[in-house]
Structures are given as C-alpha cells and as structure tokens.
C-alpha cells in the first residue's frame, strides 16, 4: 500500500446494498483525524480531507470548489483577495480596490491529489492577467509533496492581457506522493495587477506494473461529493454517474450520484446549488426518460407514472436546474427518481426543497447539497418493492435525507445541517426533521463533505 494512505477506514455493503459502515477511504490523517495544512499569520488552518485520485480537475468556474484560500497578507477592510468570477468562469485575485493598490499575499490551494498508478504526471491550467509591473515576480505556482516543502515551479507562459494562456508543468518528480498546488498572488502599493486562473487539472498515464492496492477510482473531487471507495465501485451493481450541461460554450457540472442497478435507485445525488443554476431561463420540461449514462435495462421505467399513491419523486429537484433546458431535462432521468408517496412528495418534502432555494441558498455563495434515499433501516432490513411500467421490481425507500453545507471561503469554517424524513405521508414542518450531518453519517454509513473539519458536522442549527 502506498505511503500516502495514512488512515484506513473499512466500509461494507450488506449483501451489496443497504446501510453501510465505515471503509477503505484514502484520507490523510495526522492528528486526531485532522491534517494541519498550512500556518498563516501564526494560525493553524486545520482541515479534514480526502486525497483525490487521478485524473483530477477543477474548472474554477466562478467558484473555488474544493480549493481553499490562505490570505497571508490581508489589508484592513478586505475579506479576501481571491474571488469567484462567474462572468469569466474563473477565480480572480487583485490587490487593487477603491482606486488604491495594497500590499497583499494570498494563496489559492488545491486539495491533495494522489499521483498513484501512473508513470507520469502533469499539471495544466489557464491564466490571464493585466496591470502588473512584472507579472513573473508577482504571481507564482508552488507544489508541495509528501516529502517536500512548497517548491516554486517554472511558469512557461505569462499573459499580457485578459486573454487566457495555457500552462503545463511536469509533476513526475512527485509520483508516489500526494501533492497540493498553490497559486500565489502578491501585490504592492506600487503594483497591484489582476490575475485570473481556471481549468486546473492533474493527469497521468497508467502503468499496469504499479501497486494494485492503489488503483484510482477516477472520480472528480467535487466539494459536495460524499466519499466513494474502490470497494464500492468494484461492485457491479453500484455505478458512479456524473452529469454536466453546456452553457456559454463550456461544460458545467450539474450533479453526481451513486446508483444501484439492482434496486433501480440512487443512494444519493450530490450537487451545488446557487442562483446560477436556479435562474429561470427555461420552464419545467417534464422530459421523463432514461439516463444516457446507463443501459436502459439497468434503470426503472416510469414514463406512465407509478400509481398506487406514489409519485415519481425527484432527488435533485427540477426547480434546482432551470438555467438551461438541458440542465432541467437531466433532472427527469429515471435514475434521479424513486417511488415517493404523493403525500410526502407534494407536502413536507416539497416544502424542504423550496426552503433550500429560498431560505438556505441566499445565506451563502454556494449551498452544497446531498439528497438521498435508503431502502433499509437498522431496525428493518427488509427491502420493499413495487413494479415499474415494465413490471420490473424497484425498491421503495424507507426514508429520505438531505445534507447541506456552506463554507466560509476565507476562514474555512463551515455550516452544516441534515434532515431525515421517514417515507410516510406528512405535511409537518420540515424543521421537525432536523438532525446533524454527523448523525446522518452514523445512520447511513456515508461520509458527507469530507473536505471540512468533522466538528462542523455536529450542528443542528443554521
């Protein structure tokens, strides 16, 4: 086993489905399950994190995602140097404000990426910049491996305008380690340019002779994504599915799911929620259909509804994806549906979905959401089925859940809350079903929001 896997947790499915317990997770853990990542201004920034596998990518599409920011020099009145720029789909740093230039230093840092099962590794990114005296002396890229301090890298191409230039950096010397990448911006009272960065990726080439115990799962490390293990993906009935849509000539992520082809349902669907996704550029499409990422034989068929008091219940709601017709159509895939009692779907569950958009989403730039359904409980391991339109047996969930998280981009502090609602008809206030994310993890066996300190998962208030 490669040395970057510092802590092993064991996770097992019971007969290939149902509640899970803890499992083989690539997690860095140095002190009490936490990793001290950086010391800025004599304050330890402490995070609990996963090591992401190759290939890794983060478009920085107007948000930092699973990157984090360390402001080493932050002038009074500034909240952050790095900010998301949705218009140009990038992260942007500037020490210029209100007609003045300031002394600043701020690092935009990636999560750790394991350079395993590969004979080469390459970092690529695009950057643009303007208003610098000498950009080569004011912006820098650093890489830190398991066995090194931060090391300055050679940037082959510097921009002279807001036209993006692509840069490639060889990371082969770090193979076998977990690396972090830092984009370091500096400014002075004499020069305070604007630096834009996007489309960061780390890729490698496979080699069958490498350690088989460190085979990459190959999923992208989005912030909202629960921990996925190699053991889960080795099970033929479990599928990791990710959907994106086109917007402004770019591919934008929509949602991810862990789907069980035996039960014909997703255990969870994870997605970011912000005003970009909910802007009303299209109407509800009602485009009920098969998910193109899976054979139709592995999905339920619900074109004509389900009857018997059951709705085709969305996990990611239609109203959470109105930015484009394509994005909305993707919410009507059968993989996103479960048989859900109308008396829940159209009552308390709908109230909760609406509250996430109207009450919780406005409190943060991005609300990270995991919606899920469980076919069993610790007290009732019997799975109940009903027939779809083709007479195929599909599982009826015992309960539904939502886990939500918001992160302070400057401090790394997080807010979380969870909801667990039994699958019965009810019109109760959704706040009657609040639990902590930590409690939801205990009940389901899933690890939610692995990029935050576990202490933030204990809250039951927003």
* Phi and psi torsions of 329, nearest 5°: -60, -35
Domains of the chain: 54-211 (2.60.120.200), 217-458 (3.40.570.10)
Q: What confidence tens digit (pLDDT) does each residue in 154-181 have?
A: 999 999 999 999 999 999 998 878 899 9
Amino acid 50: pLDDT: 56
Cα(376)–Cα(144) distance, rounded to whole angstroms?
44
**Among the options 243, 247, 314, 423, which is catalytic?**
314
Cα(178)–Cα(143) distance, rounded to whole angstroms?
10
Strands 113-114 and 56-58: unpaired
Cα(310)–Cα(21) distance, rounded to whole angstroms?
30
Structure tokens at 273: 């929620």
SS3 298: helix
The answer to whether the beta carbons of residues 202 and 56 sit under 8 Å apart is yes
Amino acid 410: pLDDT: 62
Cα(112)–Cα(103) distance, rounded to whole angstroms?
29
User: Which residues in the chain come in under a pLDDT of 50?
Assistant: 1-49, 206-219
Amino acid 213: pLDDT: 27
Neighbours of 408 (CB within 10 A): 14
Amino acid 204: pLDDT: 84
> How buried is 232 (Cβ within 10 angstroms: 0-12 exposed, 13-18 middle, 19+ buried)?
buried
Question: Where are the strands (E) in 41-177, listed by range?
Answer: 43-47, 49-50, 56-58, 68-73, 82-85, 90-94, 96-97, 100-101, 104-109, 113-114, 120-130, 139-144, 151-152, 165-170
Structure tokens at 454: 């576990």
314 flagged as catalytic: yes
Largest CA distance in the chain: 73
The answer to whether the beta carbons of residues 397 and 375 sit under 8 Å apart is yes
Q: What confidence tens digit (pLDDT) does each residue in 411-450 have?
A: 778 899 999 999 999 999 999 999 999 999 999 999 999 8
Which helix or strand (DSSP H or E) is residue 443 part of? helix 437-444
Cα(442)–Cα(444) distance, rounded to whole angstroms?
6
Q: What is the separation, in whole angstroms, between the first and last Cα of the chain?
A: 40
Q: Is there a binding annotation on residue 345?
A: yes
């Amino acid at each position: 086993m490669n040395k970057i896997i510092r802590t092993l947790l064991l996770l097992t499915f019971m007969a290939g489905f149902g509640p899970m317990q803890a499992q083989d997770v690539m997690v860095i853990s140095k002190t009490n399950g936490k990793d001290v990542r950086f010391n800025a201004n004599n304050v330890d920034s402490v995070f609990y994190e996963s090591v992401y596998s190759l290939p890794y990518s983060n478009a920085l599409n107007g948000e930092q995602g699973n990157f984090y920011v360390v402001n080493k020099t932050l002038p009074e009145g500034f909240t952050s140097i790095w900010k998301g720029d949705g218009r140009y789909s990038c992260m942007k740093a500037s020490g210029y404000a209100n007609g003045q230039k300031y002394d600043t230093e701020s690092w935009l840092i990636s999560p750790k990426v394991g350079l395993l099962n590969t004979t080469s590794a390459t970092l690529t990114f695009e950057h643009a910049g303007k208003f610098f005296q000498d950009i080569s002396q004011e912006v820098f890229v650093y890489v830190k491996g398991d066995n090194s301090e931060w090391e300055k890298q050679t940037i082959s191409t510097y921009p002279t305008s807001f036209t993006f230039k692509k840069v490639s950096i060889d990371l082969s010397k770090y193979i076998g380690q977990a690396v972090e990448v830092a984009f370091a911006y500096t400014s002075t009272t004499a020069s305070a340019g604007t630096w834009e960065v996007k489309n960061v990726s780390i890729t490698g080439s496979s080699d069958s002779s490498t350690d088989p115990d460190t085979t990459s799962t190959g999923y992208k490390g989005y912030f909202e994504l629960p921990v996925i293990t190699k053991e889960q993906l080795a099970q033929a009935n479990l599928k990791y599915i990710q959907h994106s849509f086109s917007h402004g000539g770019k591919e934008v992520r929509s949602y991810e799911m862990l789907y069980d082809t035996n039960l014909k349902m997703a255990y969870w669907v994870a997605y970011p929620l912000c005003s970009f996704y909910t802007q009303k550029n299209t109407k509800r499409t009602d485009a009920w259909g098969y998910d193109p990422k899976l054979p139709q034989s592995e999905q339920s068929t619900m074109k004509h509804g389900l009857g018997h008091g059951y709705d085709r219940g969305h996990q990611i709601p239609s109203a959470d994806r109105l930015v484009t017709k394509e994005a909305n159509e993707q919410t009507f895939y059968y993989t996103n549906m479960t048989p859900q009692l109308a008396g829940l779907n159209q009552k308390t569950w709908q109230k909760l979905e609406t509250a996430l958009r109207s009450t919780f989403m406005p409190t943060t730039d991005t609300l990270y959401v995991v919606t899920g359904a469980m076919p069993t409980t610790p007290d009732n391991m019997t799975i109940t089925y009903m027939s779809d339109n083709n007479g195929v047996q599909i599982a009826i969930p015992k309960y539904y859940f939502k886990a939500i998280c918001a992160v302070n981009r400057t401090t790394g502090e997080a807010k979380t809350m969870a909801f667990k609602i039994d699958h019965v008809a009810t019109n109760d206030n959704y706040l009657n079903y609040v639990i902590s994310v930590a409690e939801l993890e205990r009940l389901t066996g899933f690890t939610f929001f692995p990029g935050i300190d576990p202490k933030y998962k204990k809250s039951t208030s927003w």
